[in-house]
Every structure is written in structure tokens, then in C-alpha cells.
Structure 1
Amino acid sequence: MTKKNVDDYLQEGMYGTRLPKEAERKHFLGTLRERVILALTIGEVMSDRGLEKLETEMKKHPNSTLLMNGSVAYKFLKQERDLADKYKISHTTISNQEHQTEIGAVLTYDHAIDKEDIYLSNDEDQEKSDSVEKDDQKDQGIVERIKSWFS
């Protein structure tokens, strides 16, 4: 452990004790990445795209907590709050005027769970790529049939 100097004491007095992974905490509304079950961006919260996924995760994790970004208008967070109330999940609005984040809502635990896919867009991108592959296979089948007519 290093010895503290006068500058360290002054910094701690003015800004408080430094937290580990402070940038990560600011990004995920005060929690760590390893604790996150589902993270929704502000756009996903405002368009209600993640409500269905949020509800299924709330059913699976009844002891979780919902953190909501205070910079998002109340009317956009109403359905998320209603879901949290429905499943008796505590919810908190986090307002940090000094730091902006694109995260609109986070379903989290107070301990590490290390879930790999926490973003909604990852799941939707996978579903879209699967449907595109199926469409390509259909198109290929039609082209092959037309070729067979002329050969």
C-alpha cells in the first residue's frame, strides 16, 4: 500500500473517497457492469422497446433493483416503474448532473452475477441476423428453381 501525501488528503476531502471503477459506476447509473442483469439505453426506454425483455427479466430476478436515469422525462419511465411495482421490485431514479450516460434503465443486483449479454440490442441483432439468413435461403431456393427451368 502506498503512503498518502497531502494532495491525496486534499482530493479526498474535496471530492470524497475514490471508488474503484468509478467510470464504470457512472456509466451504469451507480452500479458495476458485473452486477447488471439488463441495461436499456435512453432511446430504448423512450420508445418502450425493452419493456417485454425487462418484464421477463423481472420475473426471473425478483430480488433485483431497477435503476432509472433521472435525465429521462418521468412520462417515459412510467411503464418501467409500473412493471417494477407489479413485480414488487424496488426502483430508484439516479440523477448525476456532472456526468451524462446513454443508459436509461438498469436492472441490477447488489452482488456480482457476471451476465454476458446485458444489452437489448445484442438480442435483437441476433434475431435480425437469423431472419436475414432465412430470407437468403428462401431467395436462393427460388433462384435455383428458376435456373432449373431453363436448363
Structure 2
Amino acid sequence: MKKDVDDYLQEGIYGAKEINPGERKQFLGTIRERVVFVLTKGQVMQAKGKKTLEQKVKEHPDAKILLNGNITFRYFKPYRQIATKHNILYTTVNNRDATSEYGLVMAYDYAVDYSDESIVLNEKEKANRNTSNKTKKKSFWAKLFGSND
């Protein structure tokens, strides 16, 4: 399709048209259909998902890793080491105008369209937290009257 004068003027005033700008802000410059794996900012700061990332890196050696530039660089050390170990490209994305809940995004340059459940880290609740291991607190009245329950 041929561009007319109005298209050139609009592009000059507002910039080039961008596909899915909301998704690009959320997924650190890429779109959802290209994403293989994500970690939230909190997970990155707590150094979670390293084993899962290493597994994903082995499964997808051609993907690249995008790191959120709004997070202090020292939190990325274990993730950068994994990327370097497996010769995966990583880039820090600094976009002060956009806020993203994600701290790390692993994506391709083309669409792969994985399901939402497969791209997020599944934080498993520790099942070994039994109430039998916890000591029962006695109520005020049991302490007062010496009840042995």
C-alpha cells in the first residue's frame, strides 16, 4: 500500500506506528506471542526460577533474554551467568516511560505462542508444612486454669 502525504505527516508528528504498544511495554519491548518464559520483578530480586530458566535455555537455545533496566543490575548476576554459560544473548531494556511487572523475559524474534501457564514460574507451595509440626498455642483460659488439652 502506498503512503500518502497524510501518512508521512502523521508519522512525523507522532512517530512510527507500533503494533501492540501495551504488550511491548509489559513484555520489555517484545510481544506476548514471542515469549517463552517470564519472571516477575519480585522473583528476580529473590533469585527464584534459576533452575527453570536453565531448563528453558537448554530447550530454546535460539531465544534471547531481556532484563528490566528498572531493577538494580546486581540482581541479574545469576541469570547473566546462566545466559553466558549457554551462549544466550541477553539485553538490558531501559524504558523509563513504561512500567512492567516483569524483570526477565525470554523470547524469540518470531511468534511461538506458548500458553500463559507454561511461560510463568510455578511457585509451588511447600506441602511439608504440617500443623502437627507446629506447637499448639494454649488459649488464655487454658493457661489461666491449667487445662491439659
- Residue-pair matches, total: 128
Q: Give the structure 2 partner of residue 69 of structure 1.
A: 68
Larger Rg: 2
Q: CA deviation at 1:113?
A: 0.9
Deviation at 1:20, TM superposition (A): 1.1
Change (3 A) 1:114 1:66: same
Letter in 2 for 1:57: K
Q: Which residue of 2 aligns with 1:140?
A: none
Query: Counterpart of 1:78?
Result: 77
Alignment correspondent of 2:137: none
Q: Deviations over 1:99-128 (max 9, x none)?
A: 1111100011111111112111xx22xx43
Q: CA RMSD in A?
A: 2.5
How many Å separate the matches in 1 of 2:42 and 2:32? 20
Partner residue of 1:91? 90
Separation in structure 2 between the aligned mates of residue 10 and residue 77 of structure 1, nearest angstrom: 42
Q: Which amino acid aligns with 1:41?
A: T
What does residue 59 of structure 1 align with?
A: 58
Structure-2 residue corresponding to 1:101: 100
Any stretches of 5+ residues in structure 1 without a counterpart? 136-151
Unpaired runs of 5+ residues, structure 2, are 131-149
Q: Quote the Cα distance in structure 1 between the aligned partners of 2:58 and 2:8.
A: 46
1:44-83 C-alpha deviation (Å, 9 max, x unpaired): 0010111111111001111110000001101001111111
After superposing on structure 2, the runs of 4+ consecutive aligned residues of structure 1 that deviate more than 6 Å are none
**Separation in structure 2 between the aligned mates of residue 96 and residue 111 of structure 1, nearest angstrom:** 22
Q: Secondary structure of the equivalent of 1:88?
A: coil
1:15: Cα distance to partner?
3.6
**CA–CA distance in structure 2, aligned partners of residues 85 and 16 of structure 1:** 35
**Partner Cα distance (1:75, 1:97) in 2:** 19
Q: Secondary structure at the match of 2:125?
A: helix
- Between the aligned residues of both structures, percent identity stands at 42
Shift of 1:11: 4.3
Q: What residue is the counterpart of 2:32 in the other structure?
A: 33
2:106 counterpart SS class = strand
* Deviation at residue 27 of structure 1 after TM alignment: 0.4
- Offset at residue 14 of structure 1 (A): 3.5
User: Secondary structure, in 3 states, of the residue corresponding to 1:19?
Assistant: coil
Deviation at 1:9, TM superposition (A): 4.5
Residue 143 of structure 1 corresponds to none
